[in-house]
């Protein structure tokens, strides 16, 4: 089973080969990075049936858990890794039109994808920090490499905030280590007891960088600048890949480390309350900011913050329904955001404008992309027939069932959804408005196929939620029973061959 | 006691760094604040592995489990990683600052640039 | 403007005071349960790293570690090195990737520009620099190859070798081509990955040590650690040199 580390080794091989290959052939970087994502997808799908039957742990360096580092391959983590690789592959396909990116761009992008996958898989808090930093450094460079002149300003602001949060994570790691003597999530989860105040501080410090990456309320101020600076493919990756990975890590830490049975029990409860409150505020602030924003990329970035707010509320609720909703929302958000950003990229390329208000009537010249934009917007809004509907429905259902503070979270989600509906309708309407815009219609073959595929991904689970059934059920079961599942498998190394 | 003093000096450096990041507008000074903070956290990490009377964790003579007096080596290994990460971030941040200067002709965060 | 600035200072000061107060409250909380520094060395994982019993933690109470004896699970006398390169090797691979990302990022973002200052180095400098360079390279190599015995290893050793490149640049203005460093970096990275995969196929686990560990404390011991640290040293030296090259600019 230790072979499953190949999931990370494929992109790593690509990363190390790219600088050599680019010396001889300039397009080598794009080719090899796409090939490595494809290899990851194929290998992940190949592993999936056996993992669905039973999760496995991968031991690195032949040192069994508390001493060495282990990765955990479960339906949840493997599913999200496949999602991350597929997202990266599709983003690369939509970007095929764009020539002239250097080999280093693809090197950094592959590192970013590898780090996001590693964050989802790893079972060690310090290893998590290392993967976070690899992804962080790659994304600082990639944001600034976008064509926008604002790139370095947005990237610097992101860098400073991300470094402060990741340093606080390091402090949290060492606090936990000095209290318990281990760094492994599974061992920590079945630890005796921690002092409640200390446990809350350590867990909050540990979660800070992931709250930053998923743009939760006090840590969302970097969003505008970074999305403005990044080019469209990387903006799509930030909300599609980085936010997915951060959401997955929050799920893992909150539900495994901070579950009521573990030593972090009482602190875990406070962390969940905090996530509901912050998530609710984020929905309102994110959707509100997107509502007033005129720049296309920034609008989509703030809308991504709103979606992550709903996901945070769902993680805070931590019921069976809410978690199923969160999984639907993660899938929906990734696919929809890639679709929306690719449409935004296409439109700003053909019109030369950055604001959506300036793209009046563009949908009459490009009807298919504009219609697909409307479809993606409807999926995010949660119209029935799209997977976003089931996500929001499940989260709201469980919030109303729980009552108390959860009502406030549900209210925030509903109010935010109204804002979301209004501005997405405004944007879609603008595209089809009558205007004297005159553009020559060109064909973009690399746009249509992936965009249609993404629309299908959004529709299929919405129409037939049962196709995701086995995955969602297995993942929710795994996340809600950490002691008998996750911890047991890692500590007995069951499944390790 | 020594451990607490050690940890406190690290944390006070962190506080100085945070104060610098919050109050300065010059990017170079903000990055200095960030580096101070990082050094403080690194000191704190090492402090958390310190035991009174502990020796450097390098085996130079034979010992048994009961006569062993070492400080905890794991935080040292973590700090090594953290230092390298700090170096990488600083190099990248300085490059970004240089690009920022080219675009804006100054190196201060002002209200006008989002 | 001025008043605004002092307000920011006061707010920041209050925030720092508040943070300190929170930390004080947390560290002096008297409720039961584990807190910072509550784990003694015996309860930490490092205890087994020091005794070299991580592979089989249930050893008899009087475990003896003898210098010069062979057959330990890890051959490094320097326990920090043992942790960095053996027990937590995946972190180190990540660390190498962080530097790799930083050097690629600097290369991607640093546009070509001319150096402004061009002054000839004085004869004193040009005479002294080759000697210092030689010294730096020798010390760097020593530190890399003694990583398992004394403080040091691939990272500091690589940095010292890169400093030799830097002073030669300051004195003689000779710059190697960027491609040389790129290829060196990649080959060293592939070497590390290859060691990892070799571990996967011989021992069944990525980055597992498959080479003899040798006698504890001997110069030629812990072969796996030596090879990995040599590769890391090459990689760090070439990455730092390439970052230095980018910062110095074109002629």
Q: What percent of chain C has pLDDT over 70?
A: 94
Higher per-residue pLDDT: B33 or C38? B33
What are A116-172's pLDDT values in tens digits?
999 999 989 999 999 999 999 999 999 988 766 677 888 899 999 999 999 999 999
Residues recorded for chain B? 114
Question: For residue C114, what pLDDT band results from cuts at 50, 70 and 90?
Answer: low
**Are the Cβ atoms of B95 and C77 closer than 8 angstroms?**
no
Question: What number is the average pLDDT over the span A292-314?
Answer: 90
Put simply, whether B114 touches A (Cβ < 8 Å) is yes
With contacts defined as CB-CB under 8 Å, which chain B residues touch C105? 92, 95
Lowest mean pLDDT among A422-426, C37-41, C137-141: C37-41
Whether the predicted pLDDT of C17 surpasses 50 = yes
pLDDT for the residue A430: 85
- Categorize the per-residue pLDDT at A496 as very low, low, confident or very high, splitting at 50, 70 and 90: very low
Q: Which of residues 9-68 of B touch C (CB under 8 A)?
A: 11, 15, 18-19, 22-23, 48-49, 51, 54, 56-66, 68
Report d(CA A255, CA A265) in Å as an integer: 11
Please state the rounded mean pLDDT for residues C79-99.
91
How far is Cα C53 from Cα A62, in angstroms, rounded to an integer? 13
With an 8 Å Cβ cutoff, are C83 and B84 in contact? no
pLDDT confidence band for B113 (50 / 70 / 90) = very low
Q: What is the pLDDT of residues A62-105, one digit of tens each?
A: 888 888 898 999 999 999 999 999 999 999 988 887 777 888 88
Average pLDDT over residues A207-229: 88
**What is the mean pLDDT of the segment spanning C164-170?**
88
The pLDDT, as a whole number, for residue A257 is 84
Q: Which 3 state secondary structure label does DSSP give B71?
A: coil
Distance CA A454, CA A94 (A): 11
Amino acid A497: pLDDT: 35
Q: Which two tokens stand for residue C237?
A: 């030296």
Q: Are A10 and A40 in contact (CB under 8 A)?
A: yes
- Contact (Cβ atoms closer than 8 angstroms) between residue A202 and residue A151: no
Are C183 and A68 an interchain contact pair (Cβ–Cβ within 8 Å)?
no
Cα(A380)–Cα(A386) distance, integer angstroms: 8
* pLDDT given at position C20: 92
pLDDT in tens, A7-56: 899 999 999 999 888 888 888 888 899 999 999 999 999 999 888 888 88
Inter-chain touch B48–A174, beta carbons under 8 Å = yes
Give the torsion sign (CA, A328, A329, A333, A339).
positive
- The residue ranking higher by pLDDT, A216 or A151, is A216
E strands in chain C: 64-65
**Burial of A353 per CB tally in 10 Å (0-12, 13-18, 19+):** middle
* Structure letter (DSSP) for residue C120: P
Would you state the pLDDT for residue C250? 62
Half-sphere exposure of A299 (CA within 13 A, CB side): 22
Only one residue has tokens 């064909």, namely A443
pLDDT (average), residues C141-150: 90
* Cα–Cα distance measured from residue A30 to residue A28, given in angstroms and rounded to the nearest whole number: 6
- Residue A101's pLDDT is 80
Most confident of B38-47, C3-12, C32-41: B38-47
Instruction: Please list the residues that pair with A230 across neighbouring strands.
Output: none
The percent of residues in chain A predicted with pLDDT above 70, rounded, is: 98
Chain-wide mean pLDDT for chain A? 87
Burial, B69: exposed, middle or buried (Cβ in 10 Å; 0-12, 13-18, 19+)? Answer: exposed
- Per-residue pLDDT band for B1 (boundaries 50, 70, 90) equals confident
Pairing of strands A70-73, B63-64: unpaired
CA distance B30 to B89: 13
CA dist C204 and A373 (Å) reads 48
Higher-pLDDT residue of C112 and C76 is C76
Instruction: Report whether A268 contacts A189 (CB < 8 A).
Output: no
The reply to whether C109 touches chain A by the CB within 8 Å rule is: yes
Q: For chain A, state the CA radius of gyration.
A: 21
Instruction: Tell me: pLDDT of C115 over 70.
Output: no
- Over residues C130-137, mean pLDDT: 93
Q: Residue C65: which of B15, B23, B62 has the nearest Cβ? A: B62
pLDDT tens by residue, A426-469: 888 888 887 777 777 777 777 778 888 888 888 888 788 788 88
pLDDT of residue A308: 92
Spell out the SS3 assignment of chain A: CHHHHHHHHHHHHHHHHHHHHHHHCCCHHHHHHHHHHHHHHHHHHHHHHHHHHCCEEEECCCCCHHHCCEEEECHHHHHHHHHHHHHHHHHHHHCCCCCCCCHHHHHHHHHHHHHHHHHHHECEHHHHHHHHHHHHHHHHHHHHHCCCCCHHHHHHHHHHHHHHHHHHHHHHHHHHHHHHCCCEHHHHHCCCCECHHHHHHHHHHHHHHHHHHCCCHHHCCCHHHHHHHCCHHHHHHHHHHHHHHHHHHHHHHHHHHCCCCCCCHHHHHHHHHHHHHHHHHHHHHHHHHHHHCCEHHHHHHHHHHHHHHHHHHHHHHCCHHHHHHHHHHHHHHHHHHHHHHHHHHHHHHHHCCCEHHHCCCHHHHCHHHHHHHHHHHHHHHCCCCCHHHHHHHHHHHHHHHHCCHHHHHHHHHHHHHHHHHHHHHHHHHHHHCCCCCCCCCCCCHHHHHHHHHHHHHHHHHHHCHHHHHHHHHHHHHHHHCCHHHHHHHHHCCCCCC
Q: Residue A465 has which token pair?
A: 């939620």
Residue A482 pLDDT greater than 60, yes or no = yes
Q: Which helix (H) or strand (E) holds B6?
A: helix B2-23
Read off φ and ψ for residue B64, nearest 5 degrees. -115, 170
* Helix, coil or strand: residue C13: helix
* Range C200-216 average pLDDT: 85
Residues of A in contact with C179 (CB under 8 A): 23
Phi, psi for B86 (deg, rounded to 5): -60, -40
Q: Which residues of A226-252 are buried (b: 16+ CB within 10 A; e: fewer)?
A: bbbbbbbbbbbbbbbbbbbbbbbbbbb
Is the pLDDT confidence value at A495 over 50?
A: no
pLDDT score at A147: 66
- Please report which confidence band the pLDDT of residue A2 belongs to, taking 50, 70 and 90 as the band edges: low
- Mark which residues 72-91 of B lie under 8 Å from C by CB: 72-74, 76-77, 80-81, 84-85, 87-89, 91
Q: Is the pTM of this model over 0.80?
A: yes
Residue with tokens 């090259």: C245
Phi-psi region of C33 (alpha: psi -120 to 50; beta: other; left: phi over 0): left
Q: Which residues pair with C114 in a beta bridge?
A: C250
Handedness of CA A28, A34, A38, A39 (dihedral sign): positive
Of C91, C197, C208, the CB nearest to A9: C197
Does the CB of B100 have a partner CB in chain A at under 8 Å? yes
- Span A285-305, mean pLDDT? 89
Give pLDDT, residue B114: 41
Contact C37, A198 (CB under 8 A): no
Confirm or reject contact between B36 and chain A (CB < 8 A).
Answer: no
Query: C36–A13: do the CB atoms touch at under 8 Å?
Result: no
Give the list of residues 6+ apart from residue C141 with CB closer than 8 angstroms, or none: C157, C161, C233
* CB A365 within 8 Å of CB A441: yes
* Residues facing B55 on adjacent strands: B70
Average pLDDT for residues A253-271, to the nearest whole number? 82
Asked whether the beta carbons of A307 and A369 are under 8 A apart, the reply is no
pLDDT of residue A148: 66
Would you say A359 and A350 are in contact if contact means Cβ atoms under 8 Å apart? no
Q: What SS3 state is found at C178?
A: helix
Average pLDDT of chain B to the nearest whole number:
88
A311-324 pLDDT, tens digit each: 999 999 888 889 99
In this complex, which chains have at least 3 CB pairs below 8 Å with chain C?
A, B
CB-based contact A159 B99, cutoff 8 Å:
no
> 3-state class of B58 per DSSP?
strand
Q: Tokens 């990525």 correspond to what residue?
A: C206
């Amino acid at each position: 089973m230790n072979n499953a580390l190949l999931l990370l080794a494929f992109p790593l091989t690509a990363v190390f080969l790219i600088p050599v290959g680019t010396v001889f052939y300039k397009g080598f970087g794009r080719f090899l990075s796409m090939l490595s994502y494809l290899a990851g997808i194929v290998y992940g799908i190949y592993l999936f049936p056996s993992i669905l039957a039973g999760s496995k742990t991968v031991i690195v360096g032949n040192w069994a858990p508390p001493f060495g580092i282990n990765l955990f391959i479960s339906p949840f983590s493997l599913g999200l890794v496949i999602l991350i690789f597929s997202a990266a592959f599709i983003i690369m396909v939509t970007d095929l039109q764009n020539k002239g990116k250097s080999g280093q761009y693809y090197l950094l992008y592959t590192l970013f994808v590898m780090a996001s996958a590693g964050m989802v898989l790893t079972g060690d808090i310090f290893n998590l920090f290392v993967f976070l930093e690899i992804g962080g450094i790659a994304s600082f460079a990639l944001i600034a490499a976008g064509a926008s002149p604002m790139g370095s300003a947005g990237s610097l602001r992101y860098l400073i905030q991300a470094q402060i949060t990741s340093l606080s994570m390091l402090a949290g790691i060492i606090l936990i280590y000095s209290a318990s003597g281990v760094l492994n999530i599974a061992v920590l989860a079945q630890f005796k007891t921690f002092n409640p105040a200390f446990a809350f501080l350590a867990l909050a410090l540990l979660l800070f960088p992931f709250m930053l990456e998923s743009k939760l309320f006090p840590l969302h101020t970097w969003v505008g600048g970074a999305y403005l600076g990044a080019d469209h493919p990387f903006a799509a990756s930030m909300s599609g890949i980085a936010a997915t990975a951060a959401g997955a890590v929050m799920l893992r830490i909150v539900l495994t480390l901070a579950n009521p049975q573990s030593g972090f029990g009482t602190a875990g409860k406070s962390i969940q309350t905090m996530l509901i409150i912050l998530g609710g505020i984020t929905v309102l602030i994110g959707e509100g900011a997107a509502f007033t924003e005129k720049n296309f990329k920034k609008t989509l970035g703030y809308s991504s913050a709103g979606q992550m707010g709903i996901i945070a509320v769902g993680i805070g609720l931590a019921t069976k329904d809410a978690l199923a909703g969160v999984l639907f929302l993660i899938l929906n958000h990734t696919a929809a955001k890639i679709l929306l950003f690719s449409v935004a990229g296409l439109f700003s390329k053909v019109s030369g404008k950055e604001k959506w208000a300036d793209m009046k009537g563009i949908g009459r010249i490009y009807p298919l992309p504009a219609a697909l934009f409307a479809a993606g917007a409807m999926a995010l809004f949660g119209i029935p027939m799209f997977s976003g509907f089931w996500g929001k429905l499940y989260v709201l259902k469980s919030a109303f069932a729980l009552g108390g503070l959860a009502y406030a979270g549900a209210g925030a989600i509903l109010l935010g959804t109204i804002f979301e509906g209004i501005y997405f309708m405004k944007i879609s309407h603008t595209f089809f408005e009558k205007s004297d815009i005159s553009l020559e219609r060109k064909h973009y073959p690399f746009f249509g196929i992936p965009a249609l595929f993404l629309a299908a991904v959004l529709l299929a689970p919405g129409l037939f939620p049962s196709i995701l059934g086995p995955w969602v059920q297995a993942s929710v079961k795994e996340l809600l029973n950490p002691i008998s599942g996750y911890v047991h498998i890692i500590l007995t190394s069951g499944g390790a061959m | 006691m020594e451990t607490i003093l050690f940890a406190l000096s690290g944390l006070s450096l962190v506080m100085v760094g945070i104060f610098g990041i919050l109050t300065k507008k010059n990017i170079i000074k903000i990055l200095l604040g960030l580096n101070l903070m990082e050094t403080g956290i690194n000191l704190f990490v090492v402090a958390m592995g310190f035991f009174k009377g502990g020796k450097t964790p390098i085996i130079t003579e034979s010992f048994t489990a009961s006569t062993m007096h070492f400080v905890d080596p794991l935080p040292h290994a973590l700090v090594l990683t953290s230092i390298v990460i700090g170096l990488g971030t600083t190099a990248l941040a300085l490059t970004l600052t240089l690009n920022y200067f080219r675009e804006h002709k100054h190196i201060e965060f002002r209200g006008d640039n989002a | 403007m001025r008043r605004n600035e002092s307000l920011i200072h006061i707010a920041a000061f209050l925030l720092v005071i508040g943070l300190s107060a929170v930390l004080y409250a947390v560290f002096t909380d008297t409720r039961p349960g584990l807190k910072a520094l509550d784990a003694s060395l015996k309860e930490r994982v490092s205890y087994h790293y020091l005794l070299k019993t991580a592979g089989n933690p249930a050893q008899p109470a009087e475990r003896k570690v003898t210098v010069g004896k062979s057959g330990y699970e890890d051959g490094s006398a320097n326990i920090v090195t043992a942790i960095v390169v053996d027990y937590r090797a995946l972190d180190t691979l990540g660390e190498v990737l962080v530097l790799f990302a930083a050097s690629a990022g600097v290369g991607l973002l640093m546009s070509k520009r001319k150096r402004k200052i061009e002054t000839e180095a004085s004869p004193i400098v040009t005479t002294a620099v080759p000697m210092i360079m030689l010294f730096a390279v020798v010390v760097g190599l020593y530190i890399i190859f003694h990583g398992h015995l004394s403080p040091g290893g691939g990272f500091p050793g690589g940095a010292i070798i890169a400093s030799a490149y830097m002073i030669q640049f300051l004195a003689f203005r000779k710059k190697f081509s960027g491609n040389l460093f790129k290829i060196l970096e990649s080959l060293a990275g592939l070497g590390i990955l290859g060691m990892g995969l070799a571990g996967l196929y011989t021992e069944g686990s990525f980055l597992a040590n498959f080479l003899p560990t040798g006698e504890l404390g001997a110069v030629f011991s812990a072969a796996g650690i030596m090879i990995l640290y040599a590769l890391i040293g090459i990689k760090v030296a070439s990455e730092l040199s390439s970052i230095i090259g980018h910062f110095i600019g074109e002629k």
